[in-house]
A and B are shown apart, each in its own frame.
Chain A
């Protein structure tokens, strides 16, 4: 019996198509896994199901009735609950209070809240699902894994017909994962349907009845898990071949500009070593959270490493702040344009010169003529579409704002350029222009470190690709030999694949 049906749902954010014509359905009492790369559209789909925002097109049917949730609360009322990736608990309250948060009224007698009733009910719930937690304990005294269990208990306490789980095991230890598996089986026996998102593909095989694969905002495949091989699943996720979208221009490589030896930061990344030559584009592939960004941040000086050495142009350097990184001719285009990049209240010029204006100061005074001339030149060079250098930054499109960010890095005159997700949230036109700069800068002898979650992009633009998983470099590929499926397997860390490699 179909409990939920999604028909032709699309979602656009301004110019970007996050979802295009997605259709799938959920049976009563089944576990459906959603698989796909970062940014494939899974989270957008979940948010639409939860009513965080409405779809641009398409409709959903829940239990035979049209389903148009107005908010996550509304979705909850209609029987859909979710276990969130980020913990949403109140640390100072007890486990029981957190599980029943917002529904304490049912444990009141004559208007007075009775904690003991709430705790008793919680204990029942825990017994039913074999969760080993003390309902009286304060949440702040729990481990992260235990907190995640509280979150899970809350999601099932609603008695929902559909439970959505977004990477529920990422914070759990093996012991709790087993408990979660049991919970999921018990839920499905009771006729509850589970929508399950995970980057650990083994879990898909262990738990799911069917899998739906998302790629670039499209639902590309729907399969029964029985009979599906890991090979097929990965091919489905990686999908498209590297196309001519990436017009990589090969250049002769020069001397080693940056060398990193055994760089480690406790709990984040370990033993990172690589070299980049002048004119080389070194790509970094990996999942979000694998430690790519943090490695770059420690090279640049935002988050200095504990151990290891960095050599720029043969000389050992220590970058304890971004200013020191800039002084060693390293520049970085940061990943999060809104949080770490654009200053909304500043105009284009001030945004562009932010990292460099200290260099054109004479005894503290900014040389206004130089600032203006340099900005105009950079605007022309990068073909930024703006009403002028004094236009407010928000009047520019996302792609052009990103060009300003690249301009900011280039104005510091770097010999090593780090670009962290330079094309995220950027339209196709600006994308190809950014690839164009990448080629041109490499031709001029710059060393470029390119991080991207878009696998075809990082493969298409780089001379070499390093694969990062859980804070370590797990593989290195030359441009010619790289294959999408192989890199994808390394990113996800599939044991079978790696053994093959060793042979």
Chain B
């Protein structure tokens, strides 16, 4: 039997291999292209700024991978992140110590995020609708809190999260690595991770197998909230001010990164490591197009196209699986 499986290196199997590792292959492709077309790309300072750019996305990407794997989606994540940023900015104006600010932000984010799942469960609503509405709520709240203007004078701890170094490595990058590794272990080795995949793959089957589907969904959302809080502080710290306008773009970038990374919309499987490469792809597009002095409007267009291609590839690989199954 073992022999038989090894022999099956047909054209379809090769295609599947490429589709499965598409994020990694895209990263290599972009790397080579940018190396050849610019001389500023492969400099230490550019690579370092690239790493810091993707650090924030990498952190929330971990939470979002769990969310997509459980067959859910959250459109409100971006504005919630902004709202948490503004809250951290307001708290910075008080005499509260950094640890207190951090904890308050985490608690608020986890609460708001799990409320999404609680509402979805309670009223049996699709996540898309609930989070679409909540996005508007968060947006309003953040405008109310900030009066529409960014807040500077952030707590030093927040600045350190975004700009600090430990040895030669930016703290935010270190944080991202920790999240990716911990997220990978949580996803692939633990009971919680297995529950998430089962809930995303077939909630009915998961339920009759004794898995608490609703509870799992709330936990996943809470986890996303946790990563949102950390990401909010990192990205506010990076620019040393709490912004009010970044919300919408962030969600698109994250969803794109996770899907390109290999976690399908529709759930049932996922890869935290893939999400890292997905974030790299998104980061490389922005970075590369900046270096090539392409207008930011074209960057939007190209990102949109890349997301579309990623989703199409996802459906395509399902079809190839189908074809392989029919051949058996």
Contacts and interface: CB of A to CB of B under 8 A. Distances in A.
Chain A bound to chain B: yes
Interface of A: 300, 302, 321-323, 325-326, 332, 334, 339-346, 350, 354-355, 357-358, 361, 364-366, 368, 387-388, 391-392, 394-395, 408, 412
B269 A354 contact: no
8 contacts: A322-B208, A323-B210, A332-B208, A343-B201, A355-B210, A357-B194, A361-B191, A394-B321
Given A344-B268, A387-B5, A322 B209 contact: yes
Interface in B164-216: 189-192, 194, 197-198, 201-202, 204-212
The 5 closest A-B pairs by CB, nearest first: A345-B268, A355-B209, A343-B201, A323-B210, A322-B210
Given A342-B202, A342-B205, A321 B4 contact: no
Contacts of A343: 197-198, 201-202, 205-206, 268
A354 B191 contact: no
Contact of B191 (A322, A357, A392, A394): A357
A346 to B, nearest CB: 6
A361 B1 CA distance: 30
B293 interface: no
B183 to A, nearest CB: 14
Contacts of A321: 210, 212
B2 interface: yes
Contacts of A302: 207-208
Contacts of B122: none
Contacts of B39: none
B126 to A, nearest CB: 19
Given A344-B201, A366-B191, A368-B189, A388 B1 contact: yes
Interface in B267-284: 268-269
B328 to A, nearest CB: 6
B198, B204, B205, B268 — most chain A CB neighbours (10 Å): B205
Given A364-B192, A387-B1, A388-B5, A350 B205 contact: no
B16 to A, nearest CB: 11
Nearest to B192: A364
Nearest to A337: B205
Contacts of A358: 191, 210
A319 to B, nearest CB: 11
Contacts of A326: 210
B326 to A, nearest CB: 10
A394 B189 contact: no
Nearest to B209: A355
Contact of A366 (B194, B202, B204, B206): B194
Contacts of A355: 209-210
Nearest to A412: B210
Contacts of A364: 190-192
A388 B192 contact: no
Given A343-B198, A387-B5, A366 B189 contact: yes
Given A300-B208, A321-B210, A346-B197, 20 more contacts: A302-B208, A325-B210, A326-B210, A334-B205, A340-B204, A340-B205, A343-B202, A343-B268, A345-B201, A346-B198, A346-B201, A350-B194, A350-B198, A354-B198, A358-B191, A366-B190, A366-B194, A387-B4, A387-B5, A394-B325
A395 B328 contact: yes
B206 A354 contact: yes
A363 B177 CA distance: 23
Interface in B1-38: 1-2, 4-5
Contacts of B325: 394-395
Nearest to A358: B191
